[in-house]
Chains A and B, each alone.
Chain A
Amino acid sequence: EVQLLESGGGLVQPGGSLRLSCAASGFTFQNYALSWVRQAPGKGLEWVSAISGSGGSTFYADSVQGRFTISRDNSKNTVFLFMDSLGAEDAAVYYCAKVRVSLIDPDAFDFWGQGTMVTVSS
């Protein structure tokens, strides 16, 4: 059974940083690209960042380019999102999502984690 479990969310001050983690199981981790997608309270979905299965290719939304860094540790089946210079606009539930087909990206997301909440406030 595929599982994605996010952690690392919490309260951070404006200008601060936070690292999110997504622990995966139930599939051949290194074969699948993963993305982070966020959802501000009461708002829609926004794709944030993606990383290829090998970790050699990374992609970012314009809204986070230069502030967020995605990475992965295939030995630990975990993907990370390091978020820096956080502002109120970054407050959201952050979801980790897996693409449908191995070795293919971009692709639709067939499994999502339960999300982790990031609150930015002084």
Chain B
Amino acid sequence: DIQMTQSPSTLSASVGDTVTITCRASQSISDWLAWYQQKPGKAPKLLIYKASNSERGVPSRFSGSGSGTEFTLTISSLQPDDFATYYCQQYNTYSRTFGQGTKVEI
């Protein structure tokens, strides 16, 4: 199975900051990568698909980049609603896998 490693595990930030989360795949996944946001007690929400494509309705401050084995999610001008846990997921293979998550906290 392809392993997905996110860093950091926890990120402390303030409103207005720009933050970057990294996701590394154990082998090339082309650009078959998604990013999700999850808040406590809620289902995950799709933010980015195919590494850099924003899902409809997602604020433009969320952006994704990368290909192959290294990917990033950038949140520009962090808003109070953005404090949550973020997961990457590869879907290059049928045995799709998630990263372990990055908690963005104040």
Contact = CB atoms under 8 A, between A and B. Distances in A.
Interface in A30-53: 35, 37, 44-47, 50
A37 B97 CA distance: 10
Interface stretch (B10-18, B67-75, B88-96): B88-96
Interface residues of A, number: 22
Contacts of B78: none
A108 interface: yes
Q: Chain B interface mostly helix, strand, loop or mixed?
A: loop
A107 B92 CA distance: 8
A47 to B, nearest CB: 5
A62 B100 contact: no
Interface stretch (A20-28, A66-74, A79-87, A111-119): A111-119
A107 B96 CA distance: 9
Nearest to A112: B43
A103 interface: no
Interface residues of B, number: 25
Given A44-B87, A62-B1, A106 B96 contact: yes
Given A44-B101, A45-B101, A109-B34, A59 B94 contact: yes
B55 interface: yes
A50 B45 CA distance: 19
Interface of B: 1, 32, 34, 36, 38, 43-46, 49-50, 55, 87, 89, 91-101
Given A59-B94, A62-B1, A100-B49, 17 more contacts: A44-B99, A44-B101, A45-B36, A45-B89, A47-B95, A47-B96, A47-B97, A59-B95, A62-B95, A95-B44, A106-B93, A108-B34, A108-B89, A109-B36, A109-B46, A109-B89, A110-B55
